[in-house]
Amino acid sequence: MIGSIVRRALLFAGLWWVLAEGRHDGWLLGGVAVMAATWASLRLWPAAPMTLRFAGLLGFLHFFIVNSLRGGIQVAGMALRGRAALRPALIELTITLPAGGERVLLVNTLGLMPGSVGVDFHGTTLRLHVIDERLPVIAEARALETAIAGLFGRST
């Protein structure tokens, strides 16, 4: 528990340092903000043993980089073809990852991928808004789910 508090406090202190652009005159307020953020993070996401696999991290990073680049090129091509070439849609996807950090990482990563963003989450169903329903969003989301499971040492 102490290790989790220290790691989170250091993370938030580093974030504050970046936001304050390295200035020292804001640390009185920054200290309060770091303590409040650390307390809130422990209340919202209690400390629990989390094991990340190095090989899983490499797989996740590979997936993210390759699909971000490919997706960016696809979305740029669609933008050049004009609005009429797009078929925006809402897609529902059943998630098999356990509740908590793994699902949060999935939704946030999908939001960073070009052409999709999570709009609603109920139980195990994630609703995604996609820029074009013809894209293989479901297959990519399943592959991302597998990469995240591997990151945490699980299998899907």
Question: Helix/strand/coil (H, E, C) string of the chain?
Answer: CHHHHHHHHHHHHHHHHHHCCCCCCCHHHHHHHHHHHHHHHHHHCCCCCCCCCHHHHHHHHHHHHHHHHHHHHHHHHHHHHCHHHCECEEEEEECCCCCCHHHHHHHHHHHHCCCEEEEEEECCEEEEEECECCCCHHHHHHHHHHHHHHHCCCCC
pTM over 0.95: no
Give per-residue pLDDT as tens, 70-126.
888 888 888 888 878 788 899 999 999 988 888 888 888 888 888 888 888 888 999
Share above pLDDT 70 across residues of the chain, in percent, rounded to a whole number: 95
Domain assignments of the chain as residue spans, ordered by start: 2-44, 54-151
